[in-house]
Structure 1
Amino acid sequence: MDNQLKRELEEIYRRYGFETAKVYEPENVIVFTLKTGYFDNADIVPLSESANTKKPFDDFSATGYACTVRSFLSPKQTETELFKGFFSVASILDRLDKDYKQFTNNIVKPFADDARYEYINAPYSVNGKDGSKSPAAEVVARLNAARPILFLIEAAAGFGKTCTAYEIVHQLIQEKNYLPLFSELSRNRKAPIFRYVLLDEIDRKFPTLSSRLVQSEMINGRVVTILDGFDELLRKTDEDDDFENQEPMLETIGQFLTGNAKIVLTTRRTVLFEGDAFHSWAATHSDEFELIRIRIGEPSLIDWLPENRLKAIQATSLDIKNSLTNPVLLSYLRCIPDDKFDAVIESPQGLVERYFNFLLERERLRQDLQMSVDTQKSILTSIAADMISGGYTSEQRDYIVDLILKNCIQEIEEALVLYPSSERPDKEFIANKIASHALLDRSSKEENKIGFINEFVLGYFVAANIINDDDWLNDDVRFLEPAVVSYRPRTIFERKELLERIRQSLEFTAISYKTDFTARLIGAVDFPLQSDEAEGLEFDAVKFGLETIESFQFNDCTFRSCEFALDKLSGVTFLNCKFYGDNVATGKPAGSIYILGEVGDSEFLKKVIENIDEIDSSVLPTHALLLERHVLEKFWPVGREKLMHKHRPISGICNGYGGFRPDEIYNAIHQLKKRGVLLQPHSAAFVELNFDRLPEIRHILGRAQ
């Protein structure tokens, strides 16, 4: 008898709840038993091709066990078979396939009965480098890696996070090698804790299995966790994106990232994932798991629209750069019948209203709903108002029905009058029709939850509340960003109006949000930027320098066809930024401007700013030593007996504090990397200490022993 094989099989079966009942050495067979309720089951497992299973089968059958004789398999094959059987892999994949088809059908059917869904790949980056496959393919290609990986898929509101999550699930269904644990995380008013949410999802998706068994298969990498809308779980606090408040949630995720586990989180771009604290947290755990950040950008019209429709749109007065950068509107223009498309481009400036009027008119026909388009808008705006007030984006269906009956009774009564008296329904009937509205029926994943079908639609009705309230004040980015996205396709006059309504709210958000939302709405940054930093933003045709920009740092930002009035810029640093298109700089700089580690064409800036020569350590040895000491103290602060950090983000080291210029600090980092004192770890945005050079590090810091 192969004792090694026997031990491995016992370990595998024990994990699935079996007990070793008996070993038949002459027959070369081992029997495992499992009791489930009234049933006693026995697996007759041969340990060789020549094993005799008849006696073990007869013995255990005679004592009342339901016996199954297994084929001779390797431990790995045995584990796979047990996994398929216990997790009902085939039936779960079939259910997920139906969910995928229903989700995709819900996207295109409102536009035309014969419309076909197709996942359109948008430009994206992987850890800062341009991707060439698709976000879903990038994830699937890494699932067989023998290490734990956390995938963070980031995009603006309404830019395809949920579609990408479903596309990952769809690809896993096709491959059949992995089982997705997929959930859309809709935050309700109870603000659940991540750990309990995840354990609850495990119990709901696998009710007959122990959570310990499911977690063990997550660790093995067979169960791939895909959580859509992670930002919905971020607790609302006085400092919404304060890292210290959110770190316990990330630490919980880290606890699940062991073995070969793979966890995919989709989230809107949030300050939580941009700051120095998060980068340091990720670097601290880089030896435990790998972080893959996938950022989805704005869609390309060429990928979305057929050539004839693209040419027709280009021939109109439509502001394509602003109006057609949203997948929701592109889906509309891609799928609607030709006659509807022709009508849209006749008056392109009303694109957004035409989109909603089209959907709401179809809804009247779909549900035989005797309710005007304007009345439907009024009710949906009221629902959005309650979401804003209650701080939730989805709720139980019964709650939404009661809300409609409570707040929209006048609209319901007006609709009832339009029905023939012989066919007139009651108020509850109308309220339930609205709760089943095409713009509210999110998906089958949360069948008892009601939320707007996508963030563009949510933003439309949030914006309606903002415009109608002169004193509107709310700094919840989950509502601000969708409102901004929904208004970007509108006229500049309408965009300015929304901005004026939310200016006071933006004062209570992080500077990155304030800068991003303002730039998206009016194509300019019209307020001072001072003593702060923005990270990971994309600016397209934005004007900088309408107001002072002083002692400010742009980290990993992208600038396309932007304008810089340099006479308002002083002490500004561009670190690892990308410059594309026809960027323009005018005037004479008011102060120093530093371009460090740039990508693309930054000549437009370099031509008009005074280049600062790299510090020559042979000429200024004391100064060079102080700079290197400043860098290394970021890892080993003064007054600390031990090293505090192994990794540090370059952006945090080069922020200009400490009396040194950012370019000096950047050059000092370069020199330390050149000498091997610092190394580049998993990301070019970080540096790490080379512990093999610890004596030299101590010497530079003046702490030699």
Structure 2
Amino acid sequence: MTSNKIEYIDKLFLSYNYQLAKQSNQTVRVYTLRYGMYHAAEFILFDKDYDISKIKKEYSELGFATDVRVLKNIDEIEEYLFQGFFIKTPLGNELKNRYKHFVNRQLQNLPEGSKYKYINSSFDLLLQDESKNIIENKFYDSDLEINLIDKINSLLSNINGAIFIIIEAPAGFGKTCTANEILNTFSPKECKQLPFFTELSRNREARVFKHILLNEIDEQFPNGIKQNIVIEQITKGRIPLIIDGFDELISKESNKEEVESMLTTIIELLKGDAKIIITSRKTAIFNSDEFLNSIYDSNNDFSLARFEIKEPKIENWLDNDRIEVINNAKFPVAQVANPVLLSYLRNISIDVLKNYVNETNDGALIDKYLDYLLKREQQRQNLKLDNEDQLRIFRKLVRFMTEYNITAESKDTIKDFIKDYNQKLLQNSLKQYIAEEKPSIEDLIETLSNHVFLDRKPNGDVGIINDFIFGYLIGENLILEKYQEHYENFEKIIPQDFATKAMESFKIQSKRKKENLWGIFNDEEFNYDIGFYFDLDYTFSKQPNREYKNLFVLDRELSDLNFIENCSFKSSAFSSIIFNNCQFDINLFFDTSFQNCSFYDCSIINQKTNKPYSDFALFTCTSNNDFVSNILNLFENQTDEKIKEKTSLSEKMVLNHFFQVDGIKPRARKFSYIKKSLSEYHDKEINKVIDSLKSKNYLHFKDDVGFITKEAIHYLNHSENK
């Protein structure tokens, strides 16, 4: 056995906290482990004929559990250690328990007898190999093709080397459910892998992602297993890393350095055979220069798969009979288009559903759902608090979370807060119990800390059960003026992502509540970016009605919007947007571009303009009518005297920008980079060439980022060799 191999095996055992015994030599290595009352000695023989009996007897008499192994190959030793410290321990069994706990959490808000079902949604996939060549770029229809979980598992099984899987989706589209379904597919005994699953939340202590990750390792693995062992096994692919809720650590207040640090921490792990999966809400972070630089400037070789979950259809949630009941009652479908509510409607009896849709008025379906939860809580936990008192307690708790910009906290802190800020209410509650059932104040607080509105996170912290309830409580605090009452500058303490949760929850509230919330966000001076206000106007009024400057709208569907009055757009961009039945007055747009957008049944108001093309610039856009061609015709004869085109822009000139500095390795580029690099050319000329490259499948665009394809690289290499 060579000295290098012996040294490697020594390091391997030492990393698992073994010590090298003095009896070790070039023929046998003796490693000892002392862990509490357990003492073990491992004998690794390099010569199967070596007589180990004397040394083995010596250690047995000292109380060591002994095991002798003849070395066949180093991989076998690595697998043996991993099996012993990870797979053949309670850690392996905890996977199924974690999934069962997750399912139980989903069912606790539903009627008794409900069944959990994972909703298969359609999805987009952009897959790049280790050299960042596009391997696959496809939309998958969940009704016709492979489902999301099977596709992810296929990549994990079939791709050699490290892979980074990003699963993006807006709130409520199933990110956490998807992460848990992936977890549930692992069987340590069969696949010899032990996933490390962490569900992130924002609390007062955790701010640096690397520290959070290391702390999660310490929390989930026994004391005898050091962080470096887990990290090493992650890079070897034996411990797939699943990070749910990556966006929880990203807020409007996050600075560039924090985001770069988070990305760097993950990419540093992407070596060897590492398998890392993260879920996140749809965010511009993954199209940012920081992300692209982290990916393309890394010295690590890894594949990159970006999944984007599309909005689940109501048909995915409800069977035909239930949909027919809703349609026959002419009930507004928009009022049930929320996963939390759809889960409830799927599991109530068909007769109850008929009563709900026939009897409820505007927004009352939400009230019935909350009434069901809170009344059931009174029965389930023998709670002597009516619905309003329960809501008061949790509105206060959410104000506390808002003040500290957190989404979870230790259970003890939650209990202390409930006790300190609800004394009178709790004392009145205790008076409602008969003597033999009366709990202590501490018991009552413990009961409330297990309320249906709360959810215990895997790390032990407690947070609000889901974004719908969180957003509802934030919105209620606002329209009841509770924030205004308790905070002098209330508009400065509500983080933008909290306000967004309220907006999302109130999409299916009554018209009165929608108008109240819209009025508060519209009239007060919140320090939110313009994207929030565009979403606000679209959600609650379906009409843009202010000046939007430096607006960036990304990857969504906008319907029945009229860009014709009381608004203007300056230095803005719409990327990968589907516009349905929208009207545009292009005179309201200034230095605004539309990148990779689709226009269905859209029209132009005011066909005459003296504006430059750059004010309403289309790049690789399509329409089902003459909308795009009409726009281009408006600017057909316009020229910009400031731009002097020395030569016409060629396809090769554009494609050459999609490479690293070495001119060999492909590199994704943002639209803004391409436009800046080609600033000497007219925007119309750039659009014409890029449109042609896209139609030839030489370029692919995801949101505002362009990727060069293998076909384009082949075209360039072929043309250069001529």
TM-score class, shorter-chain normalisation, is 0.7 to 0.9
Matched, 1:622 2:646: yes
Given that 2:196 and 2:242 are in contact with CA atoms closer than 8 Å, whether structure 1 keeps it comes out as yes
Match of 2:345 in 1: 333
Of 445, 460, 465, the residue aligned with 2:472 is: 460
Given that 1:298 and 1:325 are in contact with CA atoms closer than 8 Å, whether structure 2 keeps it comes out as no
RMSD over aligned CA atoms reads: 4.1
Matched, 1:519 2:541: no
Q: Give the C-alpha shift of residue 461 in structure 1.
A: 0.3
Q: Give the C-alpha shift of residue 254 in structure 1.
A: 2.2
Match of 2:327 in 1: 314
Specify the code of the residue in structure 1 equivalent to 2:241.
T
Matched, 1:131 2:152: no
Of 301, 307, 311, the residue aligned with 2:314 is: 301
The CA distance in 1 between the partners of 2:161 and 2:579, in whole Å, is: 35
Q: Give the C-alpha shift of residue 201 in structure 1.
A: 0.9
DSSP 3-state at the match of 2:471: helix
Matched, 1:387 2:401: yes
Q: Give the C-alpha shift of residue 299 in structure 1.
A: 1.5
The CA distance in 1 between the partners of 2:577 and 2:261, in whole Å, is: 28
The CA distance in 1 between the partners of 2:57 and 2:477, in whole Å, is: 74
The CA distance in 2 between the partners of 1:143 and 1:634, in whole Å, is: 28
Given that 1:574 and 1:595 are in contact with CA atoms closer than 8 Å, whether structure 2 keeps it comes out as yes
Match of 1:664 in 2: 685
Q: Give the C-alpha shift of residue 261 in structure 1.
A: 1.8
Distance 1:458 1:68, change over 3 A: same
The CA distance in 1 between the partners of 2:277 and 2:638, in whole Å, is: 44
The CA distance in 2 between the partners of 1:339 and 1:215, in whole Å, is: 54
Of 628, 632, 638, the residue aligned with 1:606 is: 628
The CA distance in 1 between the partners of 2:281 and 2:617, in whole Å, is: 30
DSSP 3-state at the match of 1:292: strand
The CA distance in 1 between the partners of 2:469 and 2:702, in whole Å, is: 38
The CA distance in 2 between the partners of 1:357 and 1:488, in whole Å, is: 19
DSSP 3-state at the match of 2:543: coil
Matched, 1:151 2:165: yes
Distance 1:267 1:672, change over 3 A: closer
Residues 497-542 of structure 1, C-alpha deviations (whole Å, 9 max, x = no match): 3222123678633333332343233333332334543333443444
Specify the code of the residue in structure 2 equivalent to 1:603.
N
DSSP 3-state at the match of 1:608: helix
Distance 1:417 1:679, change over 3 A: closer
Given that 1:151 and 1:294 are in contact with CA atoms closer than 8 Å, whether structure 2 keeps it comes out as yes
Given that 1:149 and 1:290 are in contact with CA atoms closer than 8 Å, whether structure 2 keeps it comes out as yes
The CA distance in 1 between the partners of 2:496 and 2:187, in whole Å, is: 34
Q: Give the C-alpha shift of residue 101 in structure 1.
A: 1.0
Q: Give the C-alpha shift of residue 198 in structure 1.
A: 0.8
DSSP 3-state at the match of 2:572: strand
Match of 1:266 in 2: 279
Given that 2:381 and 2:447 are in contact with CA atoms closer than 8 Å, whether structure 1 keeps it comes out as yes
DSSP 3-state at the match of 2:279: strand
Given that 1:6 and 1:47 are in contact with CA atoms closer than 8 Å, whether structure 2 keeps it comes out as no
The CA distance in 2 between the partners of 1:672 and 1:245, in whole Å, is: 36
Q: Aligned residues: percent identity?
A: 26
Q: Give the C-alpha shift of residue 394 in structure 1.
A: 1.3
- Structure 2 counterparts to residues 154-553 of structure 1, below 5 A: 154-173=168-187, 176-206=191-221, 207-234=223-250, 240-285=253-298, 288-320=301-333, 322-346=334-358, 347=360, 349=362, 350-440=364-454, 442-443=455-456, 445-447=458-460, 449-469=461-481, 472-474=490-492, 476-503=495-522, 508-546=527-565, 547-553=567-573
Given that 1:635 and 1:646 are in contact with CA atoms closer than 8 Å, whether structure 2 keeps it comes out as yes
Specify the code of the residue in structure 2 equivalent to 1:588.
Q
Given that 2:596 and 2:703 are in contact with CA atoms closer than 8 Å, whether structure 1 keeps it comes out as no
DSSP 3-state at the match of 2:502: helix
The CA distance in 1 between the partners of 2:433 and 2:38, in whole Å, is: 57
- Structure 2 counterparts to residues 625-644 of structure 1, below 5 A: none
Residues 178-199 of structure 1, C-alpha deviations (whole Å, 9 max, x = no match): 2111122221122421111111
Q: Give the C-alpha shift of residue 3 in structure 1.
A: 8.8
Specify the code of the residue in structure 2 equivalent to 1:243.
K
Match of 1:120 in 2: 119
The CA distance in 1 between the partners of 2:147 and 2:466, in whole Å, is: 21
Distance 1:217 1:536, change over 3 A: same
The CA distance in 2 between the partners of 1:434 and 1:283, in whole Å, is: 49
Matched, 1:577 2:591: no
DSSP 3-state at the match of 2:156: coil
Specify the code of the residue in structure 2 equivalent to 1:209.
I
Q: Give the C-alpha shift of residue 361 in structure 1.
A: 1.0
The CA distance in 1 between the partners of 2:299 and 2:704, in whole Å, is: 13
The CA distance in 2 between the partners of 1:311 and 1:159, in whole Å, is: 23
The CA distance in 1 between the partners of 2:83 and 2:608, in whole Å, is: 66
Q: Give the C-alpha shift of residue 623 in structure 1.
A: 4.3
Q: Give the C-alpha shift of residue 674 in structure 1.
A: 12
The CA distance in 1 between the partners of 2:456 and 2:582, in whole Å, is: 40
Q: Give the C-alpha shift of residue 366 in structure 1.
A: 0.3
Q: Give the C-alpha shift of residue 137 in structure 1.
A: 3.6
Specify the code of the residue in structure 2 equivalent to 1:42.
A
Unpaired runs of 5+ residues, structure 2, are 127-136, 717-722
Given that 2:658 and 2:669 are in contact with CA atoms closer than 8 Å, whether structure 1 keeps it comes out as no
Q: Give the C-alpha shift of residue 295 in structure 1.
A: 2.3
Q: Give the C-alpha shift of residue 250 in structure 1.
A: 1.9
Q: Give the C-alpha shift of residue 121 in structure 1.
A: 1.6
The CA distance in 1 between the partners of 2:75 and 2:542, in whole Å, is: 58
DSSP 3-state at the match of 1:264: strand
Distance 1:531 1:420, change over 3 A: closer
Distance 1:670 1:314, change over 3 A: closer
Given that 1:357 and 1:373 are in contact with CA atoms closer than 8 Å, whether structure 2 keeps it comes out as yes
Given that 2:649 and 2:681 are in contact with CA atoms closer than 8 Å, whether structure 1 keeps it comes out as no
Match of 1:701 in 2: none
Distance 1:48 1:537, change over 3 A: farther
The CA distance in 2 between the partners of 1:149 and 1:615, in whole Å, is: 48
- After TM superposition, the score normalised by the length of structure 2 is 0.81
- After TM superposition, the score normalised by the length of structure 1 is 0.83
Q: Which moved more, 1:216-225 or 1:409-418?
A: 409-418
The CA distance in 2 between the partners of 1:387 and 1:215, in whole Å, is: 32
